[in-house]
Amino acid sequence: MPEIHETTDYEKFKFYPCNRTIYEGHVEKLCNDPGFPKAFPHDPMIVNENFYVIDGQHRRLAAERLGIPCYYTIKHGATEKDIIPLQNSKKWTYDDFIHFHVTNGNEEFMFIKEMIDKYKISAHVIVSICRSFSTNNTRRGVNITLFRQGVINNLNKESTRDLCSKLFPELNEIKRINPKKRHLWGTVYIESFCSIYKWDSVVFDRILNKLVEFHTFLPVEIHEHRAKENLMAILNKRKAYNQTKF
């Protein structure tokens, strides 16, 4: 069992830029938890010999605000590469992984972040697209083990960029005029769009030409094949012209 140290010299601890974003709400939650001061010694921070925090940056900030000691163990030789495998207190999100690998200069994840920022899409949406345009997937989704490691195998950036440039202006317009159609941004429909694009990009373009006008015909679905059928069906929709009586 590693030795547990304590200190009120808060400034000796340093943060890695690639570590998870500090969430103020989580720090406040710890500060307002009456059990935190007693629990902290039993769940200490992990730092390396240079006092870079591997796990526990929120606890470090909460301790300073409360004026209580920081409890920590030292893992010699630990680096930023140990941040993900050693952090068990709070589950990492897709956003956390993306931030970590972008900060470390991972080109695939820098491309992903570019798409997120340019088209104002969530991490879950871009991960669904990565599943469709790479070999980094399993039957149930993206291979999270590889994703954690910063590996996205054979990502087709050209197709990903092309799909994003065409699809998300249309979906953003639908979001503007009909915010209730949030399910079109869900995994089932996003992967259906990707599937149609890969099958026939011309058909994909034709669907997009009608998407905004006929999006109300696209109900919530839990199966991709049903979502694809709905998307294909709008190809047969016709504009309703007003008939003028003379």
Note the pLDDT of residue 169: 95
Note the pLDDT of residue 1: 74
Q: Identify the residue whose tokens are 């820098």.
A: 110
Could you please state the CATH topology (level 3) that the domain comprising 5-86 is classified under: 3.90.1530
Note the pLDDT of residue 239: 67
Determine whether 215 is exposed, middle or buried from the number of CB atoms within 10 Å of its CB (0-12, 13-18, 19+): middle
Note the pLDDT of residue 168: 95
Q: Nearest Cα to 142, choosing from 108, 183, 102?
A: 108
Q: Tens digits of per-residue pLDDT, 177-210?
A: 998 888 999 999 999 999 999 999 999 999 999 9
Please give the Cα distance from 24 to 34 (Å, whole number).
18
Note the pLDDT of residue 246: 35
Note the pLDDT of residue 243: 42
Domain range list for the chain: 5-86, 94-236
What is the DSSP code string of 60-87? HHHHHHHT-PEEEEE-TT--GGGHHHH-
Long-range Cβ pairs for the range 68-71 (8 Å, 24+): 68/8, 68/37, 68/40, 69/6, 69/7, 69/8, 70/6, 70/7, 70/8, 70/10, 70/13, 70/40, 70/45, 71/4, 71/5, 71/6, 71/40, 71/41, 71/44, 71/45
Note the pLDDT of residue 238: 78
Please give the Cα distance from 220 to 212 (Å, whole number).
16
Q: Is the pTM of this model over 0.85?
A: no
Note the pLDDT of residue 35: 95
The low-confidence residues of the chain, meaning pLDDT below 70, are 88-89, 136-143, 239-246
CB 127 within 8 A of CB 113: no
Tokens read off for 68: 């209580």
Using CA atoms, how far residue 75 sits from 27, 57, 59, 79, 89, in Å, is 24, 15, 17, 9, 17
